[in-house]
Amino acid sequence: MALPFNTKPWIVVLLSFVTGGFIDTFTTTPGLHMAATTMMGYLRGFYIKFAASKDDFKAANKPGIASKGFFWFFIYALFLTLSHHTVLFFLEIYGFGEFFHTLLRISLSTAMSVLLILLGQLLFYRNDKN
């Protein structure tokens, strides 16, 4: 999520794949996180093309509250986290048998994850313009 806007899409997908592999190694979930983070890295490129300006690419800005504002980053984090959790939880149950229960898990996990991501942004990233 925090890679600069001008990072090549194939690098983002490769880093997402490797990151998911490390998570799977330590959580004994073979391939689940790898698939979810790879999908998130793939979808990031489409969102960045849609929502970022050309100045962001030229200046090598990073997505964050300090560079793009609270609302932009909130939507960005929500979109990527929701896509990650949707893939992860549906792969975990391997079907649609518990569809509504899974939707509840996706919703609550996404809300909590986005809250923690925003809290981390507010606590640890300063505005570079000051």
Each residue's pLDDT expressed in tens, for the chain with a length of 130 residues: 888 778 888 999 999 999 999 999 998 888 899 999 999 999 988 888 887 766 666 666 778 787 778 888 899 999 999 999 999 998 888 877 788 888 999 999 999 999 999 998 888 876 555 4
Domain ranges of the chain: 9-124
pTM of the model: 0.84
Give residues with Cβ within 8 angstroms of 121, minimum separation 6.
64, 65, 66, 73
Radius of gyration of the chain (CA): 15
Cα 56 from Cα 61, distance rounded (Å): 5
